Amino acid sequence: MKGAIFFSGKYGSTKQYAEWIGDATGFPVFDIKDPQANPSQYDFLILGSSIVYYKLTIRKWARTNLDILKDKSKILFSVSGAGPSDKLNRWVAASFPTELMPQVKHIALRGRLDHSKLGWGLRQILWVASLLNRDPDSSKDERYGFDYMDKSSIDPIVQMVDQYKSNENASAT
Ligand SMILES: Cc1cc2nc3c(=O)[nH]c(=O)nc-3n(C[C@H](O)[C@H](O)[C@H](O)COP(=O)(O)O)c2cc1C
């Protein structure tokens, strides 16, 4: 089995999860911005994407590579402030290509937001969003930032890969 991880993120948390998963599975890790990132060479893909303004940031790349991604085994992990919930599932389903959605197993991971890394304009947008947000926890996260990074949250992904590898070994013998 030839597997690889392709991720899309800006501030480092999606990359960090991709690297942890890479260490645990032995799969190479590619930033989708890297011109060498070619999913066609692999038969098992782990796609990682941050969520920005309720959308997966990997969505355009996924659409561009639709024909390659179709019919390969895939896991999608999202990285967001919001935790696993119906709301998050709806954001993912609405921004991932419809054709691929039934083919992926989605795992929701929680990321990090460090206001000191954001520009002034973005901080203002998040401040206004926090004033309008009716959910007190999520409003606080928007206003002050958060760090929900948790290495153990990749365990279900690593288990799925191990399962896939052992199924493959069983069918080869
Ligand atoms: C401009 C901006 C918009 C965001 N929008 C959302 C959102 O709609 N929902 C959410 O749960 N988290 C949102 N987040 C939080 C990010 O998903 C979170 O910080 C994530 O860890 C970023 O991933 P990265 O570090 O790989 O870029 C937003 C963060 C930023 C900076």
For residues 29 and 53, state if they share a domain. yes
Same domain, 59 and 72: yes
Residue 9 alpha carbon, nearest atom of ligand 1: 26
pLDDT of residue 1: 79
Q: Report the CATH number at residue 166.
A: 3.40.50.360
What is the per-residue pLDDT across 75-122, written as a single tens digit (0 to 9) for each? 999 999 999 999 999 999 999 999 999 999 999 999 999 999 999 999
pLDDT of residue 20: 98
Mark whether 160 and 136 lie in a shared domain: no
Q: Are residues 53 and 126 in the same domain?
A: no
- pLDDT of 26 > 90? The answer is yes
Give 119: exposed, middle or buried? Use CB within 10 Å, 0-12, 13-18, 19+.
exposed
CB 108 near ligand 1, within 6 Å: no
Angle, CA of 77, 82 and 87, to the nearest 5° = 85
Q: Which residues in the chain belong to E strands, given as ranges?
A: 3-8, 29-31, 44-52, 55-56, 73-80, 104-110, 112-113, 146-147
With contact defined as beta carbons under 8 Å apart, do 31 and 55 qualify?
no
Q: What is the pLDDT of residues 152-167, one digit of tens each?
A: 999 999 999 999 888 8
Nearest CA, atom 23, ligand 1: 50
Give the Cα separation of 102 and 75 in Å (integer). Answer: 11
Place of tokens 């999860």: 17
**One domain, residues 11 and 44:** yes
Q: Report the interhelical angle of 120-132 vs 136-144 (nearest 10°).
A: 170
Q: Are residues 65 and 121 in the same domain?
A: no
The reported pTM is 0.96
Is 9 touching ligand 1 by the criterion CB < 6 Å?
yes
Is any atom of ligand 1 closer than 6 Å to the C-beta of 148?
Answer: no
Tell me the best of 32, 54, 80 to mutate to test the pocket of ligand 1, counting ligand atoms within 8 Å of each CB and taking the most.
80
Residue 68 belongs to what domain range? 3-111+148-172
| Protein residue closest via CA to atom 3 of ligand 1 | 52
| Pocket flag, ligand 1, residue 54 (CB < 6 Å) | yes
CA distance 166 to 42: 17
Number of separate domains in the chain: 2
